[in-house]
Structure 1
Amino acid sequence: MLGALVFSHASRAILTRHDLQRFPADSLFDRIARVLCEAECLPRKELFESWELARRTRRRFRGGRIVDLACGHGLVAHLMLLLDDTSEVAIAADARLPASAPQVAEALVRAWPRLGQRVELRSARIQDVALAPADVVVAAHACGALTDEIITRAIDARARLAVLPCCHDKARGDAGGLEGWLDPALAIDATRAARLRAHGYRVYTQTISREISPKNRLLLAEPLQG
């Protein structure tokens, strides 16, 4: 009975109107959560992951076009604009865009009309989205090699980057020879950070709460000036 009352932030259960009372505050996060509870189409985990990625990225990177790759419902793209209006537009792209992604976008635009016409939902592969140096590339849980592909695209464009890797391919991922010292997934992420540094990026590392996901390492990077 007690377990049934636990509200896990890591759950993939859909947020519903029954969850509204869990977000009573007037904070931006609670207001967003209530809108998404009313929409009844977003997995709970996606809300908490997207918020943590967006708010931590905005503390570091301002302005620029937002490019949300492997975007799921595109929530990160919307949150980035809500948190910082100096970004005029965003693209949210996924090769398998969920059917409910437009529903999430419509709910957020109704609540915050200033988002209207500013976020483009695009059914597209990562390699088909053109990037520019002013972009801020974000990805919440791009699985396995998708994270490496996103890092490559950001490096090629000299764009700023924030990724929350997941589903590490321990058999084929590049662990940089560190797997004898480190957990293989951590070795892969450390090698990703080293790769960015080798390509002239300043790297920042953080973690989100393990209550949201055990795959909680956030990697941020920006090109060095000059």
Structure 2
Amino acid sequence: MLLHHWRILLPLITTDLRVSAFSFSTTARASRGKFECQFPKHHPLRASTKQISEQTSSSSQSEEQRISVHETIEKLTRHPAVYWDETTTFSSLHNKKLKMRHIDLFAETSDEDYRLFNGFARAVAQAGRVARKEVFETWASALHIHSGFLLGEGGTRRVCDVAAGHGLLAWALLILDDAESKSCEGEGCRPLTVLCLDVVMPRNAELIQAAMLECFPHLESRFDYVEGRLEQLIPHPSCLLASVHACGPLSDVLVATSASSGVPLAVVPCCHSRKRKVLEPVASPFAWDLYDEIMSEDGSMPDLADRLDHARVTALRNSGMVTDEEYLPTLYTDTDKNRLILARVPDDGSFQSSKPQGQAKVKKPKRQRRKGSMPPLDESTSTKSINPNAKYLRGFSVPCEDSETRRALVSRQAGREAADSRKAMMHNRNHSASPRLNMSLWLPENEGALSEEALADLINSRHDGVAVEVSKVGEIYTNSEGRRSQSYRFEYVSSEGGKSILKFDDAKRLHRELYELVPKAFIGAECR
């Protein structure tokens, strides 16, 4: 009988211990002379905490707002979706995707802390493509970013989600700002717009976008997803650079950009590496001594994440940026690498971009580029190439500036159709949207019949969707026998309109066809 009772009571005891045994215990951890009061390191209900900064900030968010954000995030650790039933835990279903069958866990409610999150999660569940933990940690990050940068007069109205992946962070910020803007009145209440950037726009991002627009159709004009490289991004102080799980050197590129250009930043680093060939080219000179110490130390480094993130925060602080650090609950991240680094320009406008003083010279490795590849648009910026051998689309850039003309330009660059068109242009000579090919012809006796319009009609009349523009190149050439020749340039353009680009291989096929048609259409004409 005793054994039978213990079998019944043991699961209840362990569950109770898991949830509440350490809920009132805190630890003080010393980290480079700063102390932090928080839950035990690996406790699942470790709440978000504010690390005491050496530099007092005049933040636009009040202390009440910060406390409110922490309370909301801590409350989300008790959300009904955290424990789906008595036999499962959040960790056991850590990477399980939210599906349509889970929508009931995110029912509509009058509880303000859950209402917006549940609406966001329901849309994600409809797409059925995102792991549960990613939904919770992205929302927690968005709450901190929204409170720290977007609230109040003078708040940032443009956000670029770098290495966006599914684009979840951008959608979370839009939903939070949309709820806030409904209570805002006056001419100064301008809605937030977001830009997502990633090397590849995944199919899942399109599915999530469709699900979000089904639930929030009025947000369509405020969201853009551009497929492009970080080196093609032009940062601007009017736009916040944000990234959740900025892998490896991407975090350091963003930190160096913020430190040198005064661009606001919110980043959750991950995949920490101290390999010199990876870290040295992107390390910020504002904390070069710390970076060099990390790269030069021999042996294992159990505290690599803390030390590397400390170097990043130091670089931002040394440049004059105001820095804060927040921590996402480890219940969501399932790792101790849960630091959110926030940096913004001082409210008094005292930030001035300048070179660091008293720092050792940074020895940059010689960057080799493959023949035909394009360098970053501006070598003076710190958004330098992580992969110097990558090929770039000539003349293509993604501006972050929060102005009407720049936002309109980004909207034209966004989407699958525009991305596919740019890929086609990469294969065209000189990255031209309209391939150009030349042809030299011996002229017939009736030279007037061989006009530019007649040559263009040979292709235009036979192929729908293609328009050929013909122009003369140079003067007429006469050989020793008195035979005359003229060179022509044929520009092949897609007549389908929109963002369609004609591929160079298709233009060559049409050009070969033209070689065969000209002698038949114009008696006496001959291709040289």
Task: Flag whether TM exceeds 0.5 (same fold).
Answer: yes
Do the aligned residues in 2 keep the contact of 1:9 with 1:212 (CA within 8 Å)?
Answer: no
Match of 1:218, as an amino acid?
L
- What's the % identity of the aligned pairs? 29
Which residue does the alignment assign to 2:249?
Answer: 145
Q: Are residues 1:21 and 2:141 paired?
A: no
Which residue does the alignment assign to 2:344?
Answer: 222
Which residue does the alignment assign to 1:36?
Answer: 124
User: What SS class does the counterpart of residue 97 from structure 1 fall into?
Assistant: coil
Which residue does the alignment assign to 2:174?
Answer: 81
Q: Are residues 1:70 and 2:166 paired?
A: no
Structure 2: how far apart are the matches of 1:108 and 1:163?
24
150, 155, 162: which one aligns with 2:266? 162
Q: How does 1:63-142 map to 2 (within 5 A)?
A: 63-85=156-178, 86-142=190-246
> Structure 1 residues 64, 195: CA separation in 2 closer, same or farther (over 3 Å shift)?
same
Which residue does the alignment assign to 2:331?
Answer: 211
Distance apart, 1:49 and its partner CA = 1.9
Structure 1: how far apart are the matches of 2:248 and 2:301?
21
Distance apart, 1:60 and its partner CA = 0.8
User: What SS class does the counterpart of residue 96 from structure 1 fall into?
Assistant: coil
Do the aligned residues in 1 keep the contact of 2:120 with 2:175 (CA within 8 Å)?
Answer: no
Which residue does the alignment assign to 1:201?
Answer: 321
Structure 2: how far apart are the matches of 1:9 and 1:160?
37
Distance apart, 1:205 and its partner CA = 0.5
> Structure 1 residues 92, 4: CA separation in 2 closer, same or farther (over 3 Å shift)?
farther
Do the aligned residues in 1 keep the contact of 2:90 with 2:331 (CA within 8 Å)?
Answer: no
User: What SS class does the counterpart of residue 207 from structure 2 fall into?
Assistant: helix
- Structure scoring higher RCO (CA < 8 A, sep ≥ 6) equals 1
Q: How does 1:166-205 map to 2 (within 5 A)?
A: 166-172=270-276, 173=279, 176=291, 177=293, 183-205=303-325
Structure 2: how far apart are the matches of 1:9 and 1:64?
38
1:116-141 superposed Cα distances (whole Å, 9 cap, x missing partner): 12111111111212221111111000
**TM-score (normalizing by structure 1):** 0.90
Q: Which runs of 5+ in 2 are unaligned?
A: 1-84, 110-114, 151-155, 179-189, 284-289, 351-528
User: What SS class does the counterpart of residue 332 from structure 2 fall into?
Assistant: coil
Which residue does the alignment assign to 1:58?
Answer: 146
User: What SS class does the counterpart of residue 224 from structure 2 fall into?
Assistant: strand
Q: Which shifted more, 190-199 or 11-20?
A: 11-20
Q: Which shifted more, 151-160 or 96-105?
A: 151-160
Do the aligned residues in 2 keep the contact of 1:203 with 1:222 (CA within 8 Å)?
Answer: yes
Do the aligned residues in 2 keep the contact of 1:9 with 1:44 (CA within 8 Å)?
Answer: no
Structure 2: how far apart are the matches of 1:8 and 1:181?
27
Distance apart, 1:182 and its partner CA = 7.7
User: What SS class does the counterpart of residue 77 from structure 1 fall into?
Assistant: helix
137, 141, 149: which one aligns with 1:49? 137
Distance apart, 1:42 and its partner CA = 1.7
Do the aligned residues in 2 keep the contact of 1:14 with 1:40 (CA within 8 Å)?
Answer: yes
Do the aligned residues in 1 keep the contact of 2:258 with 2:265 (CA within 8 Å)?
Answer: yes
Distance apart, 1:181 and its partner CA = 9.6
Distance apart, 1:148 and its partner CA = 0.8
Match of 2:243, as an amino acid?
A
Match of 2:219, as an amino acid?
L
Structure 2: how far apart are the matches of 1:136 and 1:9?
35
Structure 1: how far apart are the matches of 2:194 and 2:174?
8
The structure with the largest alpha-carbon Rg is 2
User: What SS class does the counterpart of residue 143 from structure 2 fall into?
Assistant: helix
> Structure 1 residues 10, 88: CA separation in 2 closer, same or farther (over 3 Å shift)?
same
Q: Which shifted more, 6-15 or 82-91?
A: 6-15
Distance apart, 1:24 and its partner CA = 2.6
User: What SS class does the counterpart of residue 84 from structure 1 fall into?
Assistant: helix
User: What SS class does the counterpart of residue 246 from structure 2 fall into?
Assistant: strand
CA RMSD after TM alignment: 2.5
Distance apart, 1:13 and its partner CA = 2.4
1:170-222 superposed Cα distances (whole Å, 9 cap, x missing partner): 34456543789981110000110000011110000010000111121010000
Q: Which shifted more, 67-76 or 148-157?
A: 148-157
User: What SS class does the counterpart of residue 133 from structure 1 fall into?
Assistant: coil
Distance apart, 1:7 and its partner CA = 3.5
Q: Which shifted more, 201-210 or 90-99?
A: 90-99
> Structure 1 residues 181, 95: CA separation in 2 closer, same or farther (over 3 Å shift)?
closer
**TM-score (normalizing by structure 2):** 0.40
Structure 2: how far apart are the matches of 1:40 and 1:186?
34
Do the aligned residues in 1 keep the contact of 2:160 with 2:239 (CA within 8 Å)?
Answer: yes
Structure 1: how far apart are the matches of 2:327 and 2:341?
9
Do the aligned residues in 2 keep the contact of 1:48 with 1:212 (CA within 8 Å)?
Answer: yes
Match of 1:198, as an amino acid?
N
Q: In the comparison of the two structures, how many residue pairs are matched?
A: 226
Distance apart, 1:223 and its partner CA = 1.5
Do the aligned residues in 2 keep the contact of 1:14 with 1:42 (CA within 8 Å)?
Answer: yes
